[in-house]
Amino acid sequence: MKSSPSFTLIEVLIAIAILSTGIVFIMSTFDASVIALSTSQDTLRMMRLARKKMTEVEMSALGEGGIEEETSSGTFSRTDSKFHWDLQVRRVTGPNDIPSAGETDSETLNEVVVTIGREGTGRRYSLATYVRMKR
């Protein structure tokens, strides 16, 4: 009597071990991609919030005819409540603070830095610009 072809127990165990290793690798790769996606979403949101805050500061400066040196901070509305902002406006000083041709002493160059952070992650995104405003 001929026996039908079949797998031995050891072959089945080896196949299960190989499949299990592959599944664990795929699951860990999936987990890493979810974390990367979350980080990317946070970064994009921080970029959007930084641009929004910078626009508010610039529009305020234009409306008031200038910008004062200041340091302030705060949080955003309900939908972005996990994010906070820090604003620093400082006058640029040093050897490069000499007015060029056509400028008057009544103008000054201010560095405006908006930093956005997310609570609990330590992630931060900064946006900086230089604004020339009259004193």
More confident residue, 60 or 16: 16
Measured CA to CA, the distance from residue 117 to residue 36 in angstroms comes to 17
Asked whether the predicted pLDDT for residue 7 surpasses 90, the reply is no
pLDDT (tens digit per residue) in 40-75: 998 999 999 999 999 998 888 888 777 788 899 999
For 50, residues 6+ apart whose C-beta sits below 8 A from its C-beta are: 85, 114, 115, 116, 125, 126, 127
For 36, residues 6+ apart whose C-beta sits below 8 A from its C-beta are: none
